Structure 1
Amino acid sequence: MHFTDTYLPRRDGVVTSLRTLRAAQAAAGHDVHCVVPAHGDQEDEPGLLRLPALACGVADLRLARWALCARGTREQLVADLAGYRPDVVHVHTPGPAGLLGVLLAARLGVPLVQTYHTDLHAYADAYRVPGWALRLLLRLYAGRLGVPAALAGGRAAVLSEGNRLLLGEARAVVVPTRAVLDRVALPVSPARMALIPTGVGERPASRAEAGAFRTGHGIGPKDPVVLFVGRVNREKGVDLLVPAFARVLAASPKARLVLVGAVYERRWLARLLRAAGPGVADRVVLTGQQPPHVVAAAYAAADVFAFPSRTDTQALVLQEAALAGLPAVLADPSLHRYGTLDGNALLADPDPVSFGDAVLKLLTDRRAARRLGAAARACAAGHTPQRYAEAMHAVYAAAQALDECPQVAPTPRRWNPATPVGTTRAATGG
């Protein structure tokens, strides 16, 4: 039974990772259920269990409101979910739905597995979440779990305490890349942690589909295209990308910047485009959030993939772009070093001059761009959905083999084929 606070119709890396895993598990014959916040535009899916939810006003997120209900209602919800008799509870996010998964695993005494997808500290900073709000949330979480919590300290301390509450009882904590550990110290013994990148399936697009994408967005057949895929928000580094593109435009006036993804702060983006200088906004294409087949056409239509984010823990879009043979420019040294492309991308400093020059290098040296794209594709091709599911099942099996959930971090045996975070790539062949 999976628990997530983000799901369709919202699209993000957590949703992609979870749906990839669910599909592989279902194909292998497992009985899979997924507990999600309800949304009016959600389509029916086998095994989808919806929780009544409220919009929180941030990036189209909806938060399950079970934790605010009366005690009797909460207990009935837990009893209803317990009726499905899950063998493993897998929590993917730290919101109310994730909290419910932690509570259910504790009540049933079944293994709890967590995936730490999101850099909470970076997101709290980007959205300027006040410390008092985080402390209030922490108090609520501790109350629902029936455990004490340390409420003193600033934003970072409160987030770390929240991680302790949610991750402390997990028999296994999965991180998608080692970049996670460069950003935050997780309160988990290394013996309980496993490194498992999400596998991404290839979605090929034909030349005709790529041409139709260009035509549909007013892009000429020979216009150089710089592509970004993701939420068009401040935490994704768009405030670096736009001025960097202004530098690209000065040297390549026909270039276009295509931003594929939901826009939640339109006034902020409009100010950013105005500040970049005259003519920049006219060369920027905003497509909004798109279904996978349109995103695949965008990859096929582009020349360079720009990924300016310094908050991502894995960036599945990098793998998607690589599978399309698209060379990428990054601004995050940890993701460049430890990510699934094994360094097969250009690394730029997080400033507009450096990032813009790196993009220009790939636009002008097409032979180098093709070589880099081919190397990235070869790396991404090794991370398949099937391998991802097999590695996760190895973690589930190891978690089930433990006699009981640890109260204090123990030192259980390590597991394979999932890679313990202390193990090098060379040692595992991964």
Structure 2
Amino acid sequence: MAHFSDTYLPRRDGIITSLRTLTGALGGAGHECLTVVPGHRRQPAQPDVLALPAVPCGVADLRLLPWPTLRQVRRIEAWQPDLVHVHTPGSVGLLGVLTARRLGLPVVHTYHTDLQAYVDAYRIPTAAIRMIATLYTRRLGLPAVPVPAGGDDDDRRGHVQTVNALLMGDADAVVVPTAAALDRTDLPVPAHRLFVVPSAVPKRAVGAHRAAAFRATYGLGEADRMVLFVGRVNREKGIDLLLPAFAKVVAREPRARLVLVGAVYEQRWLRRLIDASGVGDRVVVTGQLAADQVTAACATAEVFAFPSSTDTQGLVLQEAALAGVPSVIVDADLHRAGALGDAAVLADPTPDGLAAAVTRLLHDPALARRTADLARTRALRHTPQRYGAAMLDVYRDAITAHRSG
């Protein structure tokens, strides 16, 4: 299998976790994987990773492949893949689609990212989305796709749907990590080609000394009660909801500390939010951390706060669950149909609602333990091996569909 991702090490995000867990599980089952990614000078050298020349975009170690070329396709062809698996909608993802078309291979696409939600969150201009749709269309040698006339929002949504259709319209299988993802968008894919396969995260042990070292590194006292967030510390993750909510938590629990773990895209925006919260002295921003440090952070936390309403699965919820930490979420779709289901406290998506749920867990040890135990039990079922086996079933269906199509 040849996997294509626009995001990879040294970055840290859910797509990378899912991808590396999957390729590790497939490799353990005797299958060869090639991972095609943008190159980075701090990437570890790996024989099963094809790192293509890429340029920095100035944000959190993100690198961009300038444009897919037929020379790149030929390099991948030399590896003789049987199937292409596209994980992202960027230029590397486009290269995956181009490779599958040129080599006549079955293609699987995982819809990790709610593209419409991210376009809205980052305020990407309609003209930019239109340009991307046009460039993708030309690179794949397809006729232009008409977009219904409408207002600016309708126009932007139309172009996002065009991009989705270009990447997924001919896919032999499209994977969504939770049924909740299907509630957010109308994917241009027939129902018989859609598969729900939750990703998994490996269980990592952490010693008490690692947790203590994490506390010491970030100035967390033994009496501090840690509320943790892990993910991109940015607007699409609901940070502008979390910070005012945390100020209300501190009013009820003065020992509370908020630790934000993850890449920060907009430093000034975040600083303004922290200053406006009035509890900046109770907030710690660590930046992006390695996997073992994230595990140590989870081992230190009492509550995991997840204010995002744009995630297709929220793998960090599984990481928190495996560490025995109860979570508070505001996404009713994930609470209903996520990998962990209702094994979290669902809060109203308001500062008052989120604060009340976090405070309740801090003040009710029995509820916190019941919530954490249920979440951990469910997370333990989603092993990397089970994830890999489920994806192999999808690959077999995709190969069959490709041959019959």
Fold similarity call, TM over 0.5: yes
**Aligned: 1:246 with 2:241:** no
Give 1:71-86 correspondences, 5 Å limit.
74-86=69-81
Letter in 1 for 2:252: A
Corresponding residue of 2:134: 139
Corresponding residue of 1:295: 294
CA contact (8 A) 2:172 2:402 kept: no
Aligned length: 398
Letter in 1 for 2:92: A
CA contact (8 A) 1:35 1:50 kept: yes
CA contact (8 A) 2:38 2:53 kept: yes
Corresponding residue of 2:351: 352
CA contact (8 A) 1:135 1:151 kept: no
Give 1:53-64 correspondences, 5 Å limit.
53-64=54-65
1:169 deviates by 1.1
Give 1:86-165 correspondences, 5 Å limit.
86-150=81-145, 152=147, 153=149, 154-165=155-166
Are the structure 2 counterparts of residues 247 and 159 from structure 1 closer, same or farther at C-alpha, using a change threshold of 3 Å?
same
Corresponding residue of 2:229: 228
TM-score (norm 2): 0.96
Letter in 1 for 2:126: G
How large is the RMSD of aligned CA atoms in angstroms?
1.2
CA distance in 2, matches of 1:39, 1:124: 25
**For each residue in 1:373-407, what CA deviation from the matched residue of structure 2 results, as whole angstroms up to 9, or x when unmatched?**
0000001111000000000001111111235374x
CA contact (8 A) 1:52 1:66 kept: no
1:216 deviates by 1.9
Give 1:346-425 correspondences, 5 Å limit.
346-404=345-403, 406=405
1:151 deviates by 5.2
Corresponding residue of 2:196: 195
CA distance in 1, matches of 2:194, 2:184: 16
Q: Percent identity between the aligned chains?
A: 56
1:206 deviates by 2.1
**For each residue in 1:395-424, what CA deviation from the matched residue of structure 2 results, as whole angstroms up to 9, or x when unmatched?**
111111235374xxxxxxxxxxxxxxxxxx
CA distance in 2, matches of 1:161, 1:356: 39
CA contact (8 A) 2:174 2:193 kept: yes
**Aligned: 1:210 with 2:211:** yes
CA distance in 1, matches of 2:99, 2:211: 46
1:17 deviates by 0.3
Letter in 2 for 1:336: H
1:63 deviates by 1.4
Letter in 2 for 1:126: A
**SS of 1:293's equivalent?**
helix
CA distance in 2, matches of 1:403, 1:314: 28
1:58 deviates by 4.7
CA contact (8 A) 1:331 1:355 kept: yes
CA contact (8 A) 1:171 1:405 kept: no
- Structure 1 gaps of 5+ residues are 68-73, 407-430
CA distance in 1, matches of 2:138, 2:65: 17
1:276 deviates by 1.1
**SS of 2:403's equivalent?**
coil
Corresponding residue of 2:152: none
**SS of 1:219's equivalent?**
coil
Corresponding residue of 2:336: 337
**SS of 1:173's equivalent?**
strand
CA distance in 2, matches of 1:216, 1:57: 27
CA contact (8 A) 1:174 1:194 kept: yes
**For each residue in 1:92-150, what CA deviation from the matched residue of structure 2 results, as whole angstroms up to 9, or x when unmatched?**
00111000110111111111001000000010011111010111111110011011232
**For each residue in 1:328-371, what CA deviation from the matched residue of structure 2 results, as whole angstroms up to 9, or x when unmatched?**
00011001111111201011111100000100000000111011
CA distance in 1, matches of 2:253, 2:349: 21
CA contact (8 A) 2:303 2:327 kept: yes
Are the structure 2 counterparts of residues 358 and 11 from structure 1 closer, same or farther at C-alpha, using a change threshold of 3 Å?
same
Deviates more, 1:253-262 or 1:74-83: 74-83
**SS of 1:169's equivalent?**
coil
CA contact (8 A) 2:106 2:402 kept: no
CA distance in 2, matches of 1:367, 1:77: 56
**SS of 1:259's equivalent?**
strand
**SS of 1:402's equivalent?**
helix
